[in-house]
């Protein structure tokens, strides 16, 4: 994997309360064409879910999201996470992620945060919360003065709005949850998840 931004046009953002659902859900996403899967560290089941996907779903590129501490970096890497995503960054967190040997996407929402990461040699980042922070107009404005930065916008993005982000030259992929309806996950309707994933995987447009 050269870059998580180039694996697929959409990275599903997964919150799991039951680690037993991790493998069938991941298999459905991979079958639908979305192999990069971000499992957020928001529940006690998250690390077990990452471990299960890493061990049992060969086609998956599983990562850990909501990584906000050095301990979380170490735990996620030990569980088999192949990329790390944070909602924001500090120097200490950035140092921990950089030292992990695992690709990472630190979160930004301002131009100053982007410049700070560029100074540290980081060119790929998460734009969060995307919609609340200005959406596509804001990212379009950043592309001029900061063309070195590439983003995975996440936060409030829907099936309807994803395409407009993916057309931007500084966007590699988007993160979202629309292919994981809560009722489908609750009823373990993996066929529906696979169908929605397949629709999402077809979203990547040609760049201008």
Residues assigned a catalytic role = 38, 126
Residue 14 to residue 12: CA distance in whole angstroms: 6
Phi-psi region of 57 (alpha: psi -120 to 50; beta: other; left: phi over 0): beta
The DSSP code for 108 is E
Radius of gyration of the chain (CA): 16
Q: How many helices (H) and strands (E) does the chain have?
A: 9, 9
CA 129 from centre of chain: 12
Neighbour tally for 163: CB within 10 Å: 13
């Amino acid at each position: 994997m050269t870059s998580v931004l180039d694996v697929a046009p959409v990275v599903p953002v997964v919150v799991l309360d039951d680690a037993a659902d991790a493998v069938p859900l991941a298999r459905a996403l991979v079958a639908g064409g979305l192999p990069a899967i971000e499992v957020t560290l928001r529940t006690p089941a998250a690390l077990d879910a990452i471990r299960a996907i890493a061990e049992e779903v060969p086609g998956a590129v599983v990562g850990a999201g909501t990584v906000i501490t050095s301990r979380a970096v170490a735990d996620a890497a030990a569980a088999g996470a192949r990329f790390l995503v944070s909602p924001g960054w500090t120097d200490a967190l950035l140092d921990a992620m950089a030292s992990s040997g695992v690709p990472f996407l630190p979160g930004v929402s301002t131009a100053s945060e982007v410049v700070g990461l560029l100074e540290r040699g980081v060119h790929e980042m998460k734009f969060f919360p995307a919609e609340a922070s200005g959406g596509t107009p804001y990212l379009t404005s950043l592309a001029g003065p900061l063309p070195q930065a590439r983003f995975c916008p996440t936060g409030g993005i829907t099936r309807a709005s994803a395409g407009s982000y993916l057309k931007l030259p500084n966007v590699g992929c988007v993160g979202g949850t629309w292919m994981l309806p809560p009722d489908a996950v609750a009823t373990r309707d993996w066929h529906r998840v696979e169908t929605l994933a397949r629709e999402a995987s077809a979203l990547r447009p040609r760049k201008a």
